[in-house]
């Protein structure tokens, strides 16, 4: 797999996680609004956030996860994360995941980040398909996926979370 690369958009920098991102990772993954539709336990401590970032770093090293910190260019603050993971055995399909601090909702940042990651995935990683799972009540995520060219796969279900719907973008 290719070497990790930071990405840039008009308003954002997508970069590798850094040690000083630990507080933001904790804020993201312990926030009830962010976790409402994700179906994972909220983090309870900074140590759990550290363990999570350690897993991400191991995933980088193994080449089985691409995980970017989303930062605004004007303030350089980390506002969320976006990743590609759960790659198929042939390396043609991956799953996208994303989360953002609620105070940044509604500014088009995640659409900008997801568009950049999809372009990178199709052109640099040579993926042919990106899947995204979201809860059927998560209208923000569903609308985001529609705006970025993902299409509902009505014939597929998430065996792990029955309330999830699956969207797909093909190249």
pLDDT one-digit tens code per residue, 38-55? 989 999 999 999 999 999
Please give the order of strands across the beta sheet that includes 93-100.
7-8, 12-15, 66-72, 78-85, 93-100, 129-135, 164-170, 151-152
Classify residue 39: in a domain, yes or no: yes
Q: What values do phi and psi take at 113, rounded to 5?
A: -70, -45
- Residue count of the chain: 171
Classify residue 153: in a domain, yes or no: yes
Classify residue 1: in a domain, yes or no: no
pLDDT of 27 over the 90 cut: yes
* Helix, strand or coil, per DSSP, at residue 98: strand
Q: How far is CA 29 from the centre of its chain?
A: 12
Beta strand pairing status for 129-135 and 7-8?
A: unpaired
Burial of residue 71 (CB within 10 Å: 0-12, 13-18, 19+) is buried
- Would you tell me the crossing angle of helices 109-123 and 139-147 to the nearest 10 degrees? 50
Classify residue 102: in a domain, yes or no: yes
Are 25 and 34 spatial neighbours (Cβ–Cβ below 8 Å)?
Answer: no
pTM (two decimals): 0.95
Classify residue 43: in a domain, yes or no: yes
* CATH code (residue 133): 3.40.630.30
pLDDT attached to residue 161? 86
Number of domains in the chain: 1
pLDDT attached to residue 157? 83
Find the DSSP H helices in the chain: 22-30, 32-35, 46-62, 109-123, 139-147
Domain residues for the domain of 103 are 7-170
Count CB-CB contacts under 10 A for residue 163.
13
Give the whole-angstrom CA distance, residue 14 versus residue 70.
5
Calculate mean pLDDT across residues 6-15. 97
Classify residue 2: in a domain, yes or no: no
Classify residue 122: in a domain, yes or no: yes
pLDDT digits (tens, 9 = 90+) for 121-171: 999 999 999 999 999 999 999 999 999 999 999 888 888 888 899 999 999
As a 3-state breakdown, the chain gives helix, strand, coil percent values, each rounded to 5, of 35, 25, 40
């Amino acid at each position: 797999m290719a070497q990790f690369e930071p990405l840039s958009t008009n308003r954002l920098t997508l970069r590798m996680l850094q040690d000083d991102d630990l507080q933001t990772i904790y804020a993201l993954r312990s926030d009830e609004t962010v976790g409402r539709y994700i179906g994972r336990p909220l983090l309870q401590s900074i140590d759990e956030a550290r363990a999570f970032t350690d897993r991400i770093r191991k995933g980088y090293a193994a080449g089985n996860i691409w995980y970017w910190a989303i930062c605004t260019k004007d303030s350089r603050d980390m506002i969320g994360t976006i990743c590609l993971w759960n790659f198929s055995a042939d390396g043609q399909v991956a799953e996208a995941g994303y989360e953002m601090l609620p105070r940044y909702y509604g500014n088009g940042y995640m659409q900008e980040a997801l568009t950049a990651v999809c372009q990178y995935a199709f052109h640099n990683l040579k993926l042919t398909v990106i899947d995204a799972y979201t809860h059927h009540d998560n209208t923000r995520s569903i609308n985001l996926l529609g705006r970025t060219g993902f299409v509902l796969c009505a014939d597929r279900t998430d065996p792990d979370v029955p309330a999830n719907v699956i969207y797909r973008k093909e190249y």
